[in-house]
Structure 1
C-alpha cells in the first residue's frame, strides 16, 4: 500500500480528532502497513464534555473564547458569548490552536546544546535534560555576570505576552541588573500609534464604532483578516452592509476587506500621504469640515480656496489647534489633480470619496492600519490619515474613531528595593536597540528613546555597540523569522554566548539557543489574562488551566521565573526570591507562593483584583461588571465587561500640549526639539538623519513626503507589498496542517505552498506565466515562490502573504525539516532592515522594490 506524506498527515489529523471525541480502536503503525492489510476502528459513544472559558493570543484581537474539553482533551473552540467585545464570535485562527497544542513537533522537555559552534549549517546537537539541570545552567551564567560586574550584558527578549508580562520582562532584568528588556512592539505597529499620539495624545490602538457609523474608510488595514477585533468585524461587516454603510478600502492590493467594499482605491505603495493631503484639501475647500469640532470662520464664509493662504485671525477654533497653519503650510496646494499624478488614484474618485465621507460625518471614520505608515517616511502619513477623523469631527464621537479604554488594574510590584548596588548601577547602562540616539528618536509618549527599536538589536549585537550581550532569555518570540533582513539575526545570535529560549516549538531563533525551555500554550495549559477593546466596550478575560500540560512544559512568565529565583538563591543571590515571596502573596489569604503554580495564580489575582474585589473596584474607578470576590469572578467565567463607551469626553480634554486635537502639533514640536537639544543639533538635522525631507514648520504638521524606497527602479522595477494571512497566527501556525491545507483562503495563495502575486500585465512583460517557479530578488536577499497572476493588484507591484518560509518549526512548516529546507520563502529574507525612526517602527510596507525572475 502506497501512502503520500500529505495523506499521512491528513490521516493523522483525522486520527487525532477521533481520539479526542472518544473513538478508540486498533491501528497499526505506519511502518507495518502493507498492501492488503486493513485497519479497523471500534466506535464508542461520545463522552459528554464541558465548555471552559479561555482566551486567544493568536493575534492582537485577544478574543474571549471557550474550549470544549472531553476527557481532559480540547477538541473545539468557540467565541465566548458573554464578551461584549467579540460577542461570541471567533475567527479562523483560533481553531488552529487545537493543532498547536497537540503538535507532535513541540519541544517536550528541556534540551541543551552539545555543539557550541553556532550557525544555520551547524547541528546544535540538542539532548534532553531535566528542568533542574536546565535552570542550574542558566543560573550559573547569570551568577558569572554578577561575578564579573557585567549584569548589563543580560538581555530579555519578549514576543507575545499576557498581563503578567512585566514580572519576567521588567522585574527580572532590573533585579539582575540590566537595562536590556527588549519587546517586539516596534515590529508590530508603533508607527500606527504615532499619528494618533501627535494629534490627540493617544499612543495606543484605537477602537472604531462601526455599529453606529455611516461611512467607513479602511486605510492600509484589512479588518476582516488582521488588525484588531477580527472576530467582531467578520460579523459586523454583514450588518453594516445590510444597513447601507458605505465602505471604502485604500490599499494597493484587493484585500479581503476591499472585496466587501463599495470603492477600492489602489494607492501606489508608500504614497498614502499624497492621497490623505488631497482628501483633507477637498474637505476644507468644499466647506465640509466639522464646525462643532474644528470651528469656523468668524464671518461664516468659507475662505479655503485652492492656492491661497488664509488669515489666522479670521478663523475661530473649538476643539482643535492649527487648522489654518496646516492649510497655509501644506494643504492649499494639495488638490486631487496634484495627488492623482503622485498616488495613482484618479482625482474624481478622490474628490467623490472625500465629499461622501465628510457629508456622512461625524458618523464616519477612517480605520487606519499599518499599511499607510509602517514605512521609512510613514510617521507623517500616520498623522495625515488620522487627521481626517479630526477634520470631520468623528474623534471620540458616536460612529467614529474612539480611543476605548483599558481596565484599571494593579501593576506588577516595583522591584527597586531588591536591586543591589550592582543592579542599580548597571541597569542605567545604554540599551542594545539604540533607542534615543540621534538616528533613532523612538518618540513614544513624547519622550526621546521612549519606545523600542526591536530590529535594531541585531545590528547592536553585530557591532558590539554599546557592548556584546552574553546571556539572553527569549520567550514567545522568533526574531530570526519575524524581523526583516533575517541574515543579520542569524549572524547576531551566533555571537551570543548563552541563549535560553522559552517557546513551544523549535524555531529559527531556537536554532541558536543553548537551552530550549518548553513553554505552555497560552490558551489551554497555563493561566492567562489580557484586556482588549472593541465594539465600544472593553473586556478582560482570565483563563485558568483548562487542560493538563501535554508535555513537560512551564509558563515562562511565572513558573520559569520561580525556578530561576530558586536556583539563584541556592547560589547566594536571594534578591529575586525575596522579591517574589514578599510581593506576590495571595491578596485574599496573605499566603506566600511556594512554587511556580502558586506564583502564577497569585500574580493574576493581584493584577486583576480591581475587577473582582468590590473595595478595590471602587478605589480604582472601574465601571462595568461587578463580582463578590475571586471565586465569584472565576465561577462566572473569569470575564469582565466594561460599561459602554462615553463619547466626547476628550473634546478639549486631550493629553496634548494644547489639550486639543492638534493639526499643528505642539506635542511633536516639543518632542522633536527635546530630542534635538539632547544631541546638540536642530530639528531639521534630526529629520534629515531620520531620512525625512521636511524642514522648518513642516516638521510639526501632517504633510506629504515622497516615499523612501530601497532599490534602484531600473534594477528592481516592482514595489513589494506584504499581506497578512487569515490563518497565520502571527507566523506561528506554519506547522498546522490546517494552515497549509486552507492556505488558498488567502486570495491568490495556494495550498501547501507559497505564492508571489503579480498583475497579469507585469507578468506578460516579463514573459512569466501563472504557476512558474520564480526567484524574488531584492537589494538584500532572494526568495523563491510560485507565481500567481492576479488582477487584484495594481500594476507595478507584487504582493506576498506573510507566514510561509519556515526552515524550522516542524515537519509541516518546513519542506524538509531535517535538512532545513524552507516551504517557500520568508518575506523577511528579502525585506531590508529599515525603520520609521520617529516611532522606532520597522518599515514593512511601501519601502523597497524587487525584481522577479524565472527560477
Structure 2
C-alpha cells in the first residue's frame, strides 16, 4: 500500500493574496487565489485572522460570481429611453467617463446652485461609511434609504445611551446562558456571521453554553438552540418586561451593581426628571441615615433603590422604584396574554437566567478584577423593529442591567463601529464623562445631530428626530403630502450609490414610483442592475470588491483592528473606484475643499495631523486606505499587504467596563430632555403637526403599551414577518448563481411558511397560492406548512418577493414585502425613527397564479396557472 499523502489538486498554479470580504456589511478576512492567467478561482477565510479563523460563509465564497457576472455595468451608460418605470428598458448607450462626468457634474451643479436640498441621496456602502458624508459637502441632509433605521432605528441610539457604542453582542468568551431574541447572531445573520458562528459553536461544545431562542419562526438559530420559544410577533418587549418582573419581584437582581454603577438610585420627580439642587447635582436617598443626599456625598452609607420620599417639597422615588412600579403591571400572566408565551416559561427562563448570571462572582483579566456575569440577552431587528422601538431596546437592555451583565465578561457588551486608533476606544464609541457621575450619553452613532428646522430642510424630517436614525421611509409621507408637512422645496435630483431604495424602503411601491418619476435627473454609482438604478439617467460603474482598495473596521463583535481590501485583479471592465467618482464630481461642482475637510473628520485623520488630506487635491482609494491603516497602528500599506489585517481579540480594557468609574443610564432622562426641547422648538415655530406628534414615544423607562400593529382591525388575523439566512445576510445576493442555488432549492425560501394547524383551520395546504393582504398593500405567494411557525404568523423569506428589474438572474416574485408596511408617522417611533417591520395581514386563497408571475418566475415553471 502506498504511503503517499493526499494532495490538493483542485487549484491551478497561481498565488494567494490577503484581502477582506464585502459581500455583506461586515469584514471577514479572506485570502484570494489568482491563477497564472489572472483568473480568480478560489476565495477562502484567512487562517491568520482570530476573528473568522479561516471561516467564510457562502456569500463570501460567492464573491467570484459577482466579480464575473456578465450583467455587470461595464462602462458608463446613458439612458436613451425617456420613459421610466419598473421593468422599463432604459436602452442604455455606452459613453466615455469624461462625458459621464460632464453630464453628472453639470446636473448636480445646477441642482446645488438652485437649492442643495433638492438632492435626494441614497449612499449605502457600509464599508466606506465616509462616502455617506458626501451629501453634507453638497449641502443636503436628505437621506433616501432605510439602511440604518429599518433594522436598527432604536437599536443604535440605545446602544449609544447604554454602551456608547453602535452595536452590541453577547460576550462569547464567557457567556454560559445566551438568549437570542429576534436576531440570528452566532447562527444565521447580523454581525460577522461566519466569525460569530465559529465562536458560538466553540462555546457550546467547550462550555456547554445554553442557547434560548425567542422568535416566531424556528430559524437556523432556533433549530440549533437548546430551546425555541415561539412568540407572537411584535410582543418581544412585553416578554422582556415579564422577565424583568420576575427578576425584580423575586429579588433576583444585582443590587450592588445598580447602586454603584448605574443611575438607578437617582431620585426622580413627578415630571420624570431627576431631582436636583440649585447647582444641578442630583439627589439620592441614603437608606441608612434616612435622608436625601447628593449622589457624591462622601457621607453616603447606602443608596436606596426603593421607596417614596420628599425632597425640598417634591415627592420623588428612585429610578429603580419607578421601574418596579411599571413592572407591577407586567406579571408573567399578564405578559403571557400578549405574547402567547406561557407564564411558567417566562418565570422559568428568568430564574434560569438569574442563576446562570452568578451574581456576586468575579474574574481576573489582565490584572483587573471584574464582575463575571455569564448570562446575556441578545436581540436584533425582529425583536426591536417596531413602533415603540426605543422602549423595546431599553427593555432588553434592562434584563441585562438587572443581573449586572452590562459590559462584563460573559454579559451583553457594546460593539463599536470603528475605533479608528488602536490606543483608544474612539470614533463614535468614545467614552466621556457626563453630569452627576454618569457616562455621557452618545445616541448619535452614524452622524451628528441634524438641527431642527421649520419648514423642514429634510424630506424625511430628520430634524424632528433629535436622538433618532434617519427615517428615510418618511420621504413617501412628506413628498406625497408636501402641504401638510410645509415643504417649501421639491427634490428633483437623485444620487444613488450602492443603494436600492425601491427595494429596501417600506411603503407603497406605486407611491415610490411616483416619486421616482418626478425626478429631473438621476445618477447611479453601482455594480449590477437593480430595482432603483433602472430609473437612472446615467450609470457610473464602480469597481467590485475584488478590484478595489479599502481599509475598514466595521462593528466586529469580539475583535478589533483594520482589515485591508486590495485588488485581486485589475478592473476587468471600464469601472472606477467610488473615491475617484466622488472626487471628480466634487471638483466639477466646486466643493473639493469641503469634501476633503469632511473626510478628515469622519475618517479621524484630524487626530494625526500628518495624515490630513490637503484641501485642493484628490486622493485614490489606495491612498485613503493607507491613511486609515496608519491611523490605526502606524503601519504603512506594504505591512497590510503582507499581513492582510491588524485584527486582534478585543482589548479587554476597551471591551469590559470601559466606562469604569462612571454610572450607566438605567433611567434615560436624556430622552425626556430631547422630547421637551423638540416640543419647545415646534411650539416656537408653530409647526402644524406638533399636536399629532407621538410625544408618548419618548419614555425614560419602557412600558407594556401595545404597538399599533397589534391593534389593526380584527379581519387582519395574522402577522407577516420577513427573515433571512446567512446566504442572504444584508442583501447583495439574489442575482448570484451560487447563492440562488442554495436559496431556491430550499422550500423555506420558495414559499411563505405558515403553521400546519393554522393552514388546516383556514382550508389551506402546501402548494396553495394566496394573496397576503395588509391594510397598506399586498403580495402573492405559494404556501408551505410547517410546525416550526407560530400559529399566528406568516413567514416571508427576504429572497422570495421581488419586483421587475433589469437583472435577468433575479427571479421575479409576488411583490415587495415592504408593500405590506406603512410609511407613515403613526407607525414610526417618534423617539428613534424606527418603522414598524411587521404587518398584520389576512390570507386570500387564489385559484390562479397571476400571469406575470407564472411567466416570469421559474419557480413556477411548468405550471398551467390553474391550481388544484
TM-score (norm 2): 0.77
1:270 equivalenced with 2:223 (yes/no): no
Per-residue CA deviations over 1:339-374 (Å, capped at 9, x if unaligned) read: 111210111111110001011112110112111111
How many angstroms apart in 2 are the aligned matches of 1:804 and 1:433? 28
Change in 2 beyond 3 A, CA 1:217/1:690: farther
C-alpha distance 190-327 of structure 1, shift in aligned 2 (>3 A): closer
Bigger mean CA deviation after superposition, 399-408 or 733-742:
399-408
Determine the structure 2 residue equivalent to 1:342: 338
Retained in 2: the 8 A contact 1:390–1:661? no
| Counterpart for residue 188 of structure 2 | 225
The aligned residue for residue 826 of structure 1 is: 816
Aligned residue runs from structure 1 range 576-655, under 5 A: 598-613=619-634, 627=635, 629-641=636-648, 643-646=650-653, 648-650=656-658, 653=661
- The CA distance in 1 between the partners of 2:190 and 2:334, in whole Å, is 31
TM superposition shift of 1:395: 0.6
Q: How many residues align?
A: 733
Shift of 1:488: 2.6
**2:180 is aligned with 1:190:** no
- Partner of 2:704, secondary structure, is coil
Supply the RMSD in Å over aligned alpha carbons.
3.6
Q: Which secondary structure state, in structure 1, belongs to the residue aligned with residue 715 of structure 2? A: coil
1:281 and 2:234 correspond: no
Kindly indicate whether the alpha-carbon contact (under 8 Å) linking 1:612 and 1:630 is maintained by their aligned counterparts in 2.
Answer: no
Counterpart check, 1:215 vs 2:169: no
- Taking the aligned partners of 1:593 and 1:678, their CA distance within structure 2 comes to 36
Q: Does residue 371 of the first structure (1) align with residue 382 of the second (2)? A: yes
Change (3 A) 1:454 1:57: farther
Q: Match of 1:137, SS? A: helix
**Worse-superposed segment, 76-85 or 387-396:** 76-85
Matched, 1:470 2:492: yes
Aligned 8 A contact 2:751 2:800 in 1? no
| Cα shift at 1:538 | 1.3
Aligned pair partner of 1:380 in 386, 391, 401: 391
Which of 446, 463, 467 is the matching residue for 1:443? 467
What's the offset of the Cα at 1:176?
3.5
Instruction: State the 1:327 CA deviation.
Output: 3.7
Question: What does residue 580 of structure 2 align with?
Answer: 559
1:50-83 CA-partner distances (Å, limit 9, x unpaired): 2222222333332222222223222222222222
Where does residue 473 of structure 2 map in the other structure?
455
Instruction: Give per-residue Cα distances to partners, 1:121-152, cap 9 Å, x unaligned.
Output: 644332221111111111111232355x3233
Q: Give a deviation string over 1:158-184, Cα, whole Å, max 9, x none.
A: 113324x42x432x4344433335563
Paired with 2:505 and 2:533, the residues of 1 have a C-alpha distance of 15
Q: Which residue of 2 is the match for residue 675 of structure 1?
A: 678
Instruction: Return the match for 2:97 from 131, 134, 139.
Output: 131
Change in Cα spacing, 1:463 to 1:547, as seen in structure 2 (3 Å) is farther
User: Are the counterparts in 2 of residues 207 and 534 from structure 1 also a CA contact under 8 Å?
Assistant: no
Cα displacement string for residues 521-549 of structure 1 (whole angstroms, at most 9, x for unaligned residues) = 1x211112221344632132021222112
- State the 1:701 CA deviation: 0.9
* SS, match of residue 40 in structure 2: strand
Distance 2:32 2:815 in 1: 33
| 2:861 match | none
How far apart, in 1, do the equivalents of 2:595 and 2:744 lie? 50
Change (3 A) 1:640 1:254: closer
Whole-angstrom distance in 2 between the partners of 1:314 and 1:580:
51
Match of 1:120 in 2: 86
Kindly provide the CA deviation profile for residues 97-142 of structure 1, in whole angstroms up to 9, marking residues without a partner as x. 1111111111111111123333236443322211111111111112
Mapped to 2, the partners of 1:379 and 1:582 lie a distance apart of 32
- Structure 2 distance, partners of 1:122, 1:334, is 53
Give the secondary-structure state (helix, strand or coil) at the position aligned to 2:787: coil
Cα distance change on mapping 1:319 and 1:802 into 2, 3 Å? farther
Distance 1:806 1:581 in 2: 36
Query: Which residue pairs with 2:405 in the alignment?
Result: 394
* Between 149-158 and 373-382, the greater mean CA deviation after superposition: 149-158
Q: Which runs of 5+ in 2 are unaligned?
A: 1-8, 261-283, 289-301, 307-316, 358-372, 429-450, 849-868
* Cα 1:775/1:606, change in 2 over 3 Å: same
Equivalent-residue separation in structure 2 for 1:581 and 1:60 (angstroms): 20
Deviation at 1:313, TM superposition (A): 6.1
CA drift of 1:375 comes to 0.6
Q: Give, in whole Å, the separation in 2 of the partners of 1:801 and 1:182.
A: 24
Cα-to-partner distance string for 1:13-64 (whole Å, 9 max, x where unaligned): xxxxxxxxxxxxxxxxxxxxxxxxxxxxxxx995312222222233333222
| CA offset digits 1:220-258 (Å, max 9, x no partner) | 111211111211232223223222211101111111111
Query: Per-residue deviation at 1:853?
Result: 2.0
| 2:845 aligned residue | 853
Alignment of 1:498-577 (within 5 A): 498-521=521-544, 523-534=545-556, 536-556=558-578, 558-568=579-589
Distance 2:132 2:208 in 1: 46
Is the Cα–Cα contact under 8 Å of residues 459 and 479 in structure 2 kept in the other structure?
yes
> Match for 1:797 among 793, 796, 816?
793
Stretch of structure 1 that moved more, 525-534 or 461-470: 461-470
Distance 1:769 1:182, change over 3 A: closer
Aligned residue runs from structure 1 range 19-418, under 5 A:
47-70=12-35, 71-120=37-86, 122-147=88-113, 149-163=114-128, 165-166=129-130, 168-170=131-133, 172-180=134-142, 184-198=147-161, 200=162, 202-223=164-185, 224-242=187-205, 243-295=207-259, 314=287, 316-317=302-303, 322=318, 324-361=320-357, 362-405=373-416, 406-409=418-421
**1:784 and 2:780 matched:** yes
- Distance in 2 of aligned mates of 1:677 and 1:247: 46
1:459 and 1:488 in contact (8 A); partners too: no
Deviation of 1:579 after TM superposition, in Å, equals: 7.1
Is 1:497 equivalent to 2:520 in the alignment? yes
In structure 2, the partner of 1:665 is 668
Cα pair distance change 1:707/1:459, threshold 3 Å? closer
CA contact (8 A) 2:751 2:783 kept: yes
What is the Cα deviation at residue 778 of structure 1?
A: 1.9
Contact 1:57–1:160, Cα closer than 8 Å, also in 2? no
Q: Deviation at 1:740?
A: 2.1
C-alpha contact 2:237 2:391 (8 A) present in aligned 1: yes
Provide the C-alpha distance between the structure 1 equivalents of 2:480 and 2:568, rounded to a whole number of angstroms: 43
- TM, length-normalised to structure 1: 0.78
SS in 2 for 1:709: helix
Q: Deviations over 1:435-472 (max 9, x none)?
A: 133xxx2514xxxxxx3111122333444534211222
Kindly indicate whether the alpha-carbon contact (under 8 Å) linking 2:24 and 2:729 is maintained by their aligned counterparts in 1. Answer: yes
> What whole-Å deviation, never above 9, does each CA across 1:720-763 have from its counterpart, x for those lacking one?
111113212433211112222211576x525xxx3111111121
Deviation at 1:383, TM superposition (A): 0.6
| Offset, 1:593 | 11
| Structure 1 residues 554-589: Cα deviation after superposition (integer angstroms, max 9, x where no partner) | 222x111233245446xxx87579979999999989
Contact 1:715 1:851 in 2 (8 A): no
- Residues in 2 aligned to 1:211 and 1:581: alpha-carbon distance in whole angstroms: 36
| Structure 1 contact 108–518 (Cα < 8 Å) conserved | yes
What CA distance in whole angstroms lies between the structure 1 residues aligned with 2:756 and 2:190? Answer: 29
CA drift of 1:845 comes to 3.3
